[in-house]
Amino acid sequence: MGALEEGRFDPEVSDITVGEGAGGPAIGTMENAVRVLLMGLGEDSEREGLRKTPIRVAKAFREGTRGYRQKVEDIVQGAFFPEAGLDNGIGQAGGAGGMVVVRDINLFSYCESCLLPFSIKCHLGYVPSGQRVVGLSKLSRVADVFAKRLQEPQRLADEICQALQNSIRPAGVSVALQCWHIQFPEVLKCNMNLPRHPSRSSMQGWVHTSVCSSTGVFEQKKSSFSDDFHTLLQFSGANFGLSNAACSIHSWCPSRSLDVPESNGHMVRNNLLNGRIFSRPVVSHSSMVAAVASIILSLGEDPSRKELVGTPYRYVHWLMNFSRSNIDIRQNGFILNTINLHESSNGYIHRENEINSELNIPFCAQCEHHLLPFHGVVHIGYFHDEEKKDIDRSSLQAMVHFYGCKLQVQERLTRQIAEAVYSVLGRGVMVVVEANHICMISRGIEKVGSSTATIAVMGQFSTDITAKALFLEAISKVTAAVGP
pLDDT band of residue 4 (cuts 50, 70, 90) is very low
Percent of the chain with pLDDT over 90: 48
Among residues 447, 289, 311, 479, the alpha carbon closest in space to that of 379 is found at 479
Query: Taking each helix axis from N to C terminus, what angle separates 393-404 and 410-425, rounded to the nearest 10 degrees?
Result: 140
Whole-angstrom Cα distance, residue 372 to residue 257? 21
Residue 155 pLDDT > 60: yes
Q: What is the pLDDT of residue 109?
A: 93
Q: What is the pLDDT of residue 416?
A: 96
Asked whether the beta carbons of 214 and 172 are under 8 A apart, the reply is yes
Write the CB contacts of 193 (distance below 8 Å, at least 6 apart in sequence).
none
Which CATH number describes the domain made up of 65-256? Answer: 3.30.1130.10
Q: Identify which has the larger pLDDT, 362 or 455.
A: 455
Q: How many CB atoms lie within 10 A of CB 71?
A: 12
Q: Identify which has the larger pLDDT, 305 or 334.
A: 305
The residues that bridge with 100 in the sheet, in sequence order, are 126
Q: What is the pLDDT of residue 83?
A: 77
What are the C-alpha distances in Å from 417 to residues 9, 202, 432? 45, 21, 10
Do 324-482 and 65-256 have the same topology in CATH?
Answer: yes
Residue 342 pLDDT > 80: no
Q: How many residues does the chain have?
A: 484
What are the C-alpha distances in Å from 422 to residues 37, 176, 429? 34, 49, 6
Domain positions in the chain are 65-256, 324-482
Residue 145 pLDDT > 90: yes
Among residues 362, 354, 376, 379, the alpha carbon closest in space to that of 477 is found at 379
Whole-angstrom Cα distance, residue 423 to residue 419? 6
Q: Looking at 145-149, 166-170, 192-196, 384-388, which range is the least confident one? A: 192-196
CATH 3.40.30.10 assigned to 324-482: no
Question: Model pTM greater than 0.75?
Answer: yes
pLDDT tens-digit readout, 162-194: 999 999 999 999 999 999 998 876 655 555 444
Q: Looking at 208-222, 228-242, 253-267, 463-477, which range is the least confident one? A: 253-267
Asked whether the beta carbons of 402 and 329 are under 8 A apart, the reply is yes
What is the pLDDT averaged over residues 238-266?
61
What is the pLDDT averaged over residues 452-467?
94
Q: How far is CA 80 from the centre of its chain?
A: 35
